[in-house]
Amino acid sequence: MGIHVIETQLQGVLIIEPEVFRDARGFFMESYNRRVFQAHGIPYEFVQDNHSRSAHGVLRGLHYQDMRAPQTKLVRCTVGRVWDVAVDLRVGSPTFGQWVGVELSAENARQLLVPVGFGHGFAVLSEVAEVQYKCDGYYEPAAEGVIRWNDPDLGITWPLAQPILSPRDQNGMSLKEYLKAPKFFFRH
């Protein structure tokens, strides 16, 4: 069993393609193997698994946990298709405010590694999608933040013009507001 690791333009954000064995019965893959990941220089120890189900048109994000309870996430889509996005929120980083997007689907089995210091969100492209992700830190509501999904300073190209959003995601802060509240933000 193995993985293929693709580096993105954002240092630390990786696309991971697990080896998938398909035949007439279906498929088999290891979605995570600590030894294999560590052999590829991916040293995280995950402590929490999350699973969400969303309808077509839902957009979740851009979420992060600040330095009081930082999290790295290993994200995959197990049902349907999503457009998954990571945004660099590390103040002082040469790629601060830049983003990378990739389609994750049950069919392509790709995963996105979103390290500490990055915001994360996804938009559902299929009728329904289930997203599962491993975290290397525990969820802490007091450390959670939301950056506005459509902030013009980010310029993210979302595949949805009018997404379905939670009230929390509708009221996310802009990147400029994030910079004005530096108490717990990430530094490069």
Q: Please say if 133 is a catalytic residue.
A: yes
Q: Please say if 63 is a catalytic residue.
A: yes
Helix, strand, or coil (residue 135): strand
Max CA pair span of the chain = 56
Cis (ω within 30 of 0) for the bond into 104?
no
Any idea which residue has 């994750």 for tokens? Answer: 104
CA distance 55 to 125: 9
Instruction: Select which of 63, 64, 120, 178 is catalytic.
Output: 63
Q: What angle do CA 141, 143, 145 make, to 5 degrees?
A: 90
Produce one character per residue of 43-58: b if its CB has 16 or more CB atoms within 10 Å, e if not: ebebeeeeeeebeeeb
- Other Cβ atoms less than 10 A from the Cβ of 85: the count is 26
Instruction: Select which of 32, 44, 64, 133 is catalytic.
Output: 133
Q: List the structure tokens of 76.
A: 């995959």
Amino acid letter at 188?
Answer: H
Residues designated catalytic: 63, 133
